[in-house]
Each structure stands twice: as C-alpha cells, then as structure tokens.
Amino acid sequence: IWNAALLELQTQLNEENIENWFKKLRPYECSDAKLTLLADDPFVRIWVRDNYLDLIEEAIEHAAGQRLEIEILDGDGLEGEEVENIDVDLEPMAARSARLDESGAQTALFDFDSLEISAPADLDALVSAAGMNPRYTFDEFVVGSSNQFTHAACQAVASGSGQTYNPLFIFGGVGLGKTHLLQAVGIEMLRRNPATRVKYLSAEVFMNQLIQSLRQKTMAEFRNQFRHDCDLLLIDDIQFIGGKDSTQEEFFHTFNALYQSGKQIVMTSDKTPQELPGIEERLASRFAWGLIADIQPPEIETRVAILEKKAEDSDLELGKDVTMLLATSIRSNVRELEGTLLRMVAQAQLMNQPLNTDLARQLLKRMNIQHERSLNVEQIIRTVASHFDLKASDIKGSRRTRAISEPRQMAMYLSRKHTGESYPELGRKFGGKDHTTVLTAFRKIEDLVETGNNEFAAAIAELEALLLR
Ligand code: ADP
Ligand code: MG
C-alpha cells in the first residue's frame, strides 16, 4: 500500500520533495483502520505530519480503497510503542543546528542556504529569510470578482499545476494586492516544499544588486543566484526597469535561463507588458508568453469583506454602519482602506470613544478623506423616487399622503446617513423643510431599521444596495 501511495505522491510532488520527506518514511504496521509509518528523523516526522498528512491520507485512500488513519511515529529506537508527547517542540532544531556547527557546515539558524539542505525551520522563518512578509498568504487574501482570476492563477502556479502559466504577469493599480499575491505564491511553494529556492525581489532591488555586482566585480555570483540557484523567481514592480537598458539586458538573460530550465517566473507591474514605457520589445513579448492577469479595484462587497477580515484579525469590533461608511469612502486602494481602519480604531481608543458612524465620519474628515464617489442628496432623492414610482418633485414637495411621505422620510434618512450633511442643509435640499422635520424622519427610520424585520428596513437595504453599488 505504501509503495502504491508513494507512486501516486510522485505524480503530485516534485522529486526533491519525495526524496526529502517521503522516502524517509517506512511503513511499520497496518491494520484495517490505521497505517503506522516510521520516521527516524524527528524533523521529517514533524514536517510531514504538519504539512503532508492530508496528501498521504488521500494517496493511501486511493491505494487501499478505503480511508485509513495515518500515524507517523519516531522510528529511532521505537519498539512498537507509541511515542508520547508527539507534539515535539522545536527544541530539537537547536540540537540539529549545534550538530551542524560541529561539522563545520553553515550554521546560521535561519540561513536560507543551509535550510535547504538541512532542517526544515518553521515556515515564517523561511519566508522572512526570503525577504517576504509572512502575513501575505493566500489565507489572508480576500477573494472577490475584482481579483478572482489572478488569485486563481497564482494558486495554480503555487500548486505546481500552472506550468503553462509561465511567466505569470500580474498587473493592476496601486494598493490592490499585487505584492500580496506575488508573495503568497512564494509562501505557498515554501509551505509545500521548504527546499524550494524562492527569490523574491523588486525590480529596483534587482537593479541595485546588479550595479553593486558590476562595481565589485562579482557578476558571476549575481548571475548564478538567479540563473541557477533559483526555482521560483518573483519580481515585483517590473515596470521599474523601463528605460534602464543594461538592467533590461541582464534581466533578459536571467529570464531566458530560468525559462529554458523550466523554472517559474511571476512578475507584477502597474501596466500590461505592451503598455510599459521604455521596455524593449523582446522583453515585453516574453512577458506575454504565459498568462497575463489583472487585478481591478475591489467592488463594495469585497471592500466590506476585507474590512471585516482585518477587523477580525486584529480582534476589533466594527459595527456594520462603520464598515459600510469606510467601504463606501475608500474605493480604489486596499492599502488605504486597511490603513484608515487601523488609524481610526487607534484614534477612537485614544479619545476613549466608541467608534460609531459619527466619530468615524469626523475622523474621515480630519484625515481628509472625502467620499471618493460621494453620494449626493440629489442622487439619493432620485433613486428613492424612482424606486417607489414617484417623481423627485414629489419627494421635495409637501404632500403628506403615506405613499409619498414614507419614501420622503427614507430619502431623508439615507441622505443624513450617507452624506453626513447637517439637518438644516438637508432641510433646504428637500425643498425648504424645517430641520426638525428631517431630524424626526431620520430618528423614526433609524429606529425601524434597527428593529429590523419590517418593510422599512427591507426597503432601506434595497435602496442602499442600489446606491452603493
Ligand atoms: P500592490 O502591490 O498592488 O500595491 P499590496 O499587495 O501591497 O498592493 O497590498 C496593499 C495592502 O492591502 C496589503 O497590506 C495587502 O495585504 C492588502 N490587500 C490588498 N488586497 C487584499 C485582499 N484582497 N485581501 C486582503 N488584503 C489585501
Ligand atoms: Mg506592490
């Protein structure tokens, strides 16, 4: 069974992976409910258990025709007994690194090169060593229609099923998650196989390193690190090399060497290859050989989901209203969305006040953030009117039949909520009404919405969906 499972695993994982981890396991005992594997090396045991157990279970299920529980035990001196305390801490890593010390091998605990050949350190350490942010994982990325395609392409590449997507070229505006997704590919590859040699760098750093190597006459090393000692090249902001001829020349050769040896390349950029200014045609055309994927600004649902996720990650309670206000105020940049949320929460804490919409609006104003596509009162009146088959002049007029006065009150509520204009100003914009009329309408609808479960709450939800699309 184990050999059959190995065969299946070999079709899914690369050879290095199989050699490093799976070939170091041996079957020990098999009942009809459980397969016990032994690993002599505690690192192998922990690593496989933490990272590959699902895969093994699946392969065994295919091979055995039924699901078996998989257990991996320490084979070193094991006499058929389960090892206690299978949740080994990372203490052995220090021991391992000490052993390396004595043998004169590379010693730094988080030295990337030594890790490749020896102990799988914890993933964050690998990620940090490669210059990436451990937070930029697929798990932390909120998927919506604006980024779904690129997200899927990145996942395909990271899982190794994206061989045809080489290179993968990601483009999109500022703060939309390009760097995040680029690093997510690297992190996921490292998670699947910590021996993957991931090079992550921005095009600017590439250029700086090139210049330094030229100065110090270490070009051979510079070239080697990319052309030979690299399985996955992640280049951020490739647009930077536009107009920089010798950097382009060098990158051209790097690209060719990696491409020819079947290594994956992923790049990000603010424009499509063809739109990039100052990029030689031969490079631009190569950038388009694989897959070109774009990221668009997130739509309202995704902005809300991102805010909710960030709030949850930081253990923040964020009211629906505040979330909505932020998501409608900041539309085209996730970094800004995230930053504003955190600043707001910090300021509310400093002021020792709950973060409600009033405070949030005040803070937004102070941070100088206007509604990017702010709703105005006219727009709200028109939308409400047409929703109820009325004319804008009905809403602004003074007739008080229910069919008119109720939509009018809803329009007032929505206007106050989404424009934040003062009651007297709103009174003027609703055809010269007293500010108390607007205030009363606002309070009434607000109460109804808060109670939920009535026709007013439902109508407001529908109207907001229309207005905030
Ligand atoms: P870009 O490289 O496109 O300018 P980044 O990748 O640096 O943008 O993203 C900016 C910030 O927004 C980062 O903190 C990133 O984690 C966050 N971010 C962007 N898109 C998303 C998303 N879809 N889900 C979660 N966080 C996101
Ligand atoms: Mg970036």
What are the chain's domains? Answer: 2-74 (3.30.300.180), 91-121 (no CATH), 148-295 (3.40.50.300), 300-366 (1.10.8.60), 377-467 (1.10.1750.10)
CA-CA distance, 396 to 391, in Å (whole number)?
A: 9
Coil, helix or strand at residue 230: coil
337 close to ligand 1 (CB < 6 Angstrom):
no
75 pocket-lining for ligand 1 (C-beta < 6 Å) = no
Residues 80, 70: Cα–Cα separation, whole Å: 15
Q: Identify the pLDDT of residue 256.
A: 96
Say what the pLDDT of residue 163 is. Answer: 63
Closest by Cα among 434, 430, 393 to 410: 430
User: What does the pLDDT read at residue 221?
Assistant: 94
Tell whether ligand 1 has an atom less than 6 A from the beta carbon of residue 147: yes
CB 281 within 8 A of CB 242: no
**Distance between Cα 175 and ligand 1 center (Å):** 6
Predicted pLDDT at 48: 77
Distance 181 CA to ligand 1 centre (A): 8
Residues 6+ apart with CB under 8 A from 37: 2, 25, 26, 27, 28, 56, 70, 71, 72, 73
Identify how many contiguous H helices and E strands the chain contains and give both numbers.
Answer: 22, 8
Q: Atom 6 of ligand 1 has which residue's CA nearest to it?
A: 177
What pLDDT is recorded for position 5? 82
Distance, CA 202 to ligand 2 centroid (Å)? 9
Instruction: For ligand 2, an ion, list residues with CB under 5 A.
Output: 178-179
* Residue 441 CA to its chain's centroid (Å): 42
Residue 114's Cβ-count burial label (10 Å; 0-12, 13-18, 19+) is middle
Q: What atom of ligand 1 comes closest to residue 173's alpha carbon? A: 3
Q: Is the confidence metric ipTM above 0.95 for this complex?
A: yes
Can you give the pLDDT at residue 208? 94
Across the 469 residues of the chain, what is the mean pLDDT of every consecutive 10-residue run? 80 70 82 84 70 80 81 67 36 37 36 40 88 95 96 94 84 96 97 95 95 93 92 97 94 96 95 94 96 94 94 88 90 90 88 89 79 74 95 94 96 89 91 94 93 89 83
Nearest-CA residue for ligand 1 atom 14 is 335
Supply the pLDDT for residue 121: 53
